[in-house]
Structure 1
Amino acid sequence: MVLATEFPMIRKDDRQSGNTLDMAHLPALGGKAWPALHFLWAAMLLTGGLLLMPRLFAFTDLYITYSLSAFIVLVAAIGFGLYRFRDRSALKSGGFGAANAITMGRGVLICLVAGAIGQAWSASAAWTFVAVSSFALIMDGFDGWYARRNGDDSPFGALFDQETDAAFILILAILVVDQGKAGPWIVLSGLLRYLFVFTGLFVDRLRAPLGPSIRRKTVCVIQVVSLVVCLAPIIPPGLSLWIAALSLALLFYSFAVDVISLMKRQHA
């Protein structure tokens, strides 16, 4: 997991050293597989969720509309990212990478969670989406490790993971408000990353790169875990409000540390 302000420049491991897995032998997941193959299985996973969720919880048609809209945004973002990094890392050879495929799978789960916005939740529905969100969080810790383990990391993969995290936090924050577990102010936890980027369009120093940070990653994990916990049926609104407020305060602190650090630099 990468916090919103972090975008380390990652170099690929030397595949000639060690026992690195050759991704060319996994055409369905990585290597030189066309991204369209990944979009196909991701669409199949999304279709399965769209067929299952409304039947299980009697959701309205808005569930399908929101989930499909989120998936379209996901595919468009991936396409833009592949174009942006077309001359860098392993993407030059047409490979997408197994780690990016894992991140895409996490993105599909997030799309299914996004569809629940505006729906009336039963206790079983709430626990289901808590479980799906928790699994997506676990996958977040696995894709980065897998990329480093197999020399599959790249600037595109780092940005893809980062943007998926940002979208996940925003969607969870909206759900927390939607379910009456906190006030609209908690949506700031999902908007801070985008406000930071927008401000960087006008302030050069905020566009400077930030190195890896354990603090940043830890705060990001805490933010996601806190929002997922708030959605659990056993957490009353009074308690969820305090959990959300404390996690947002911690996120504000982390952003403030990075902003102050960037503004103090002599050269942006």
Structure 2
Amino acid sequence: MIRKDDTHGRDLLRASPFPAFGGKAWPAVHFVWAAVMLGAGLFLMPRLFSFTDMYITYTVTAFSILIAAVGWGLYRFRGQFPWTEAGFGTANAITMGRGVLICLVAGAIGQVWSAGAAWTFVVVSSFALIMDGFDGWYARRNGDETPFGALFDQETDAAFIMILAVLVVDQGKAGPWIILSGLLRYLFVAAGFLIQGLRAPLGPSLRRKTICVIQVISLVVCLAPIVQPWLSTWIAALSLVLLLYSFAVDVIDLMSKRHA
């Protein structure tokens, strides 16, 4: 006869770590295949585009931050995370793959780009953007949504915008002011430590999601070799204005609720 408290052990056995790309795999298994995926990119990119050793340094640093952030998130949501029912989650695995692609893009900061390198990173960034739409859709469709997954996706988006903004400046496609688009999320979080009303949860918003996508697309377009600096400056500026508007709407909404 199995005691009631033995159900955890049976569920843990069902969450087998062997299907490395499956949602029921343990988080450590996903870390392993993500590292393998990163290693493949580190092997190819420097050889294809004659990058310096700093490409490897920046990419590995970004990946280390990714793994540390995921580990912290799993610990933070340990009481709500469906370890025994769904493992890491397929949607989170998709976000992890997107994070690896973003790390490979981050490594290109400070490198001299050929036209081939520029188009490669435009394609890789575009694919990461497509994956951004797919992981959320999959989570909603299959009941794979978790508080951890929502935060993981959100912070990956924020890091992606920051990295793209730095690359746009690095490649001479806009001035340093565009980095504000990457800083806005972190400034908003920092303001929450000072103003309690800004720590309230934000509900779903089509406006917020749409402008986030527009921001990423705009920055990726700016990196395309065929887009001249005068044009990329205007594209970056308009997307930043939209992003500032979106944050302003959220701040005003939260502060209004606080005073109410």
Tell whether the structures are fold-level matches, with TM greater than 0.5. Answer: yes
For residues 236 and 92 of structure 1, what CA distance do their matches in structure 2 show?
52
Distance 1:159 1:92, change over 3 A: farther
Residue matched to 2:68: 76
Q: How do 1:211-230 residues align onto structure 2 when only pairs under 5 Å count?
A: 211-230=203-222
**In 2, are the aligned partners of 1:23 and 1:30 still within 8 Å (CA)?**
no
Give how far 1:150 is off: 1.4
Residue matched to 2:112: 120
Amino acid at match of 1:209: P
For residues 142 and 117 of structure 1, what CA distance do their matches in structure 2 show?
27
- How far does the alpha carbon of each residue in 1:136-171 deviate from its partner, in whole angstroms, 9 at most, with x for none? 000000011111111111000000000000000000
- Secondary structure class of the residue paired with 1:116: coil
Amino acid at match of 1:170: M
- Secondary structure class of the residue paired with 1:250: helix
1:163 to 138, 155, 170: 155
Identify, as 1 or 2, the structure richer in helix: 2
Residue matched to 2:4: none
Give how far 1:40 is off: 0.5
For residues 23 and 91 of structure 1, what CA distance do their matches in structure 2 show?
8
For residues 205 and 166 of structure 1, what CA distance do their matches in structure 2 show?
21
**In 2, are the aligned partners of 1:176 and 1:231 still within 8 Å (CA)?**
yes
**In 2, are the aligned partners of 1:62 and 1:115 still within 8 Å (CA)?**
yes
Uncovered stretches (5+) of structure 2, i.e. residues with no partner: 1-13
Does 2:167 match 1:203?
Answer: no
Uncovered stretches (5+) of structure 1, i.e. residues with no partner: 1-21
1:37 to 16, 26, 29: 29
For residues 49 and 31 of structure 1, what CA distance do their matches in structure 2 show?
24
Distance 1:31 1:129, change over 3 A: closer
Select the structure with the greater relative contact order (CA < 8 A; seq sep ≥ 6).
Answer: 1
For residues 100 and 26 of structure 1, what CA distance do their matches in structure 2 show?
17
Residue matched to 1:188: 180
Give how far 1:28 is off: 2.6
2:246 to 249, 254, 258: 254
Residue matched to 1:19: none
- Count of residues in correspondence between the two structures: 247
Does 2:232 match 1:240?
Answer: yes
Distance 1:24 1:154, change over 3 A: farther
- Secondary structure class of the residue paired with 1:106: helix
1:148 to 136, 140, 161: 140
Matched-pair identity in %: 76
Instruction: Name which one, 1 or 2, has greater alpha-carbon Rg.
Output: 2
- Secondary structure class of the residue paired with 2:154: helix
Distance 1:156 1:92, change over 3 A: farther
For residues 86 and 231 of structure 2, what CA distance do their matches in structure 1 show?
49
Residue matched to 2:256: 264
Moved over 4 A (4+): 22-26
Give how far 1:91 is off: 3.4
Give how far 1:123 is off: 0.4
- Secondary structure class of the residue paired with 1:201: helix
Distance 1:266 1:195, change over 3 A: closer
Distance 1:118 1:31, change over 3 A: closer
Q: How do 1:37-116 residues align onto structure 2 when only pairs under 5 Å count?
A: 37-91=29-83, 95-116=87-108
**In 1, are the aligned partners of 2:23 and 2:93 still within 8 Å (CA)?**
no
Give how far 1:90 is off: 1.2
Give how far 1:80 is off: 0.1
TM-score by structure 1 length?
Answer: 0.89
Residue matched to 2:10: none
TM-score by structure 2 length?
Answer: 0.91
**In 2, are the aligned partners of 1:23 and 1:97 still within 8 Å (CA)?**
no
